[in-house]
Structure 1
Amino acid sequence: MRIATFNVNGITSRLPALLQWLAETRPDVACLQELKAPQEKFPEAALNQAGYQCIWHGQKSWNGVAILARGKAPLEVGRGLAGDPEDEQSRYIEAVVDGVVIACLYLPNGNPAPGPKFDYKLKWFDRLIVRAAELLDTGAPVVLAGDFNVMPTELDVYKPERWVDDALFRPETRAAFHRLLEQGWCDALRTMHPGERIYTFWDYFRNAYGRDAGLRIDHLLLSPALAGKLKAANVDRDVRGREKPSDHAPTWVELDI
């Protein structure tokens, strides 16, 4: 079973690139973030024609998450995280596909830090940690997939010294990610590439992709029920080098289910 995550950075403008990638790699499940489209503008028909059924949580101009499943309908479990009834940002959706719980998330960026946006990021992270613990308690096979907007270690950023004050790399952010992992989650990409500089994001500016000045901020975390079934994990790096790309590349795992 191949499960992928891809921050598309605007599904309307990136739809041809998304469809090309889906046709080439045929993931069983694809989690998308940063749709930047209201609910009614999601391109369901085009994705259905490509062989994928979808659930999505859109938002005009910003955010937005979706789960696509090849040849079957994702069974939606819920959308949004508990703990803040006033939070209207579309950043979390959860479904079951072939018995696997798929949680697709787009964690807040948090910049500038410190400040209200950074406070929101940390509070959102706390709410995610609560939901992650609930999912682990079920004993079900679970994947937390998405753009976490955190580089967990210095190995995950091209020049760590330049990022010390950034919300994606501040100690509070990394500590939250490690609290999440300490619940028992397996960081699939780092498990398969323990000492490698492997990135999932390259900025549009200063030829970041050409210089390989990247960040690893897109993650797939596996529950203990799935960790032993991990066979491969990687990044479809070449997708970032195509015409009019997202600034992220698709990241995926192969599970022996």
Structure 2
Amino acid sequence: MKIASWNVNSLNVRLPHLQEWLKAAQPDIVGLQETKLEDAKFPDDALLELGYRSVFAGQKTYNGVALVSKQPAEEVQVGIPGFEDEQKRVIAARFGDVRVVNLYVVNGKAVGDEKYEYKLRWLDAVHDWLAEEIARHPKLVVLGDFNIAPDDRDVHDPEAWHEKILCSTPERDALKRLCALGLHDSFRLHNDEAGHFSWWDYRAAGFRRNLGLRIDLLLVSEALRAGCSASAIEREPRTWERPSDHAPVWVDVTG
């Protein structure tokens, strides 16, 4: 089963890119973030023509998440249970015996900002929910735009980003707490090298100069770890005209 994640940064703009990539890559399940569409405008018919069903939770202009899959989604959950939040950042569903949780983690704006404090509270709520999810669903994949670079290997200039937003110690510690539930960064199961990124700023020729961060992650539970045969970042869509600032990432998992 090929499971992918892609922050499309506006599905209205990037739908042709998504369609092209789905045809070529043929993932079984894709979690999308920043769809930036109200539900009534989600292009589920266009995706169904390619053999993909969709479940989604959107809002106008900001945020928005979706799960696009070849098989129907079951037990769909929108939002974090018990956590009041008007922002559409979370959707989860079961596909066979695999539970997939799609997160668009809060950016946080800047260390010390009120949005940063909200990010840490939000991550605490996600942790408590995922502790319950992994108990109910041993085969669990948690994917999305985490807006956290796990360690300095995932940052083009660790010194410049030291203790800045996306790279601060509290954010990284929150991610470590999630992983301590029994989740593994699938990319790092196959690659220990620095310099692999999934996001590049549109400014300052960030992509051409490879000034990026690896903040798009697919975390797999212990029950799926042995079945992870490959994981990768697909840079090509970032070269297309009017691209998202993120590249798709995926993991191939059996079991």
TM norm. shorter chain > 0.5:
yes
Q: Is the aligned partner of 1:74 residue 2:78?
A: no
**Within 5 A, what are the aligned runs for 1:5-84?**
5-70=5-70, 72-84=71-83
| TM-aligned CA deviation for residue 139 of structure 1 | 4.7
Deviates more, 1:15-24 or 1:132-141: 132-141
* Separation of aligned partners in 2, 1:227 and 1:152: 18
The alignment yields a C-alpha RMSD, in angstroms, of 1.1
Q: Would the aligned equivalents of 1:37 and 1:60 in 2 still touch at CA under 8 Å?
A: yes
**Which deviations, in whole Å up to 9, do the C-alpha atoms of 1:183-204 show, x marking residues without a partner?**
2111101121122421111111
Q: Would the aligned equivalents of 1:55 and 1:76 in 2 still touch at CA under 8 Å?
A: no
| TM-aligned CA deviation for residue 77 of structure 1 | 2.8
Amino acid at match of 1:67: L
Q: Would the aligned equivalents of 1:199 and 1:216 in 2 still touch at CA under 8 Å?
A: yes
Q: Would the aligned equivalents of 1:53 and 1:69 in 2 still touch at CA under 8 Å?
A: yes
* Separation of aligned partners in 2, 1:196 and 1:51: 36
Which of 182, 201, 206 in structure 1 is aligned with 2:204? Answer: 206
Q: Would the aligned equivalents of 1:80 and 1:91 in 2 still touch at CA under 8 Å?
A: yes
| TM-aligned CA deviation for residue 76 of structure 1 | 3.6
Amino acid at match of 2:23: A
Amino acid at match of 1:147: D
**Which deviations, in whole Å up to 9, do the C-alpha atoms of 1:38-59 show, x marking residues without a partner?**
1111111111111100000001
| Matched position secondary structure for 1:144 | strand
* Separation of aligned partners in 1, 2:36 and 2:162: 29
- Which residue in 1 is equivalent to 2:151? 153
> Which ranges of structure 2 fall in alignment gaps of 5 or more residues?
none
* Separation of aligned partners in 2, 1:236 and 1:66: 20
| TM-aligned CA deviation for residue 160 of structure 1 | 1.1
**Which deviations, in whole Å up to 9, do the C-alpha atoms of 1:197-230 show, x marking residues without a partner?**
2111111111111111110000000011111110
**Which deviations, in whole Å up to 9, do the C-alpha atoms of 1:22-69 show, x marking residues without a partner?**
000010000000001111111111111111000000011000000011
> Which ranges of structure 1 fall in alignment gaps of 5 or more residues?
none
| Matched position secondary structure for 2:207 | helix
* Separation of aligned partners in 2, 1:243 and 1:195: 29
| Matched position secondary structure for 1:210 | coil
* Separation of aligned partners in 2, 1:256 and 1:101: 13
* Separation of aligned partners in 2, 1:155 and 1:66: 29
Q: Is the aligned partner of 1:120 residue 2:124?
A: no
Q: Structure 1-normalised TM-score?
A: 0.96
Q: Would the aligned equivalents of 2:99 and 2:137 in 1 still touch at CA under 8 Å?
A: no
Q: How many correspondences in the alignment? A: 255
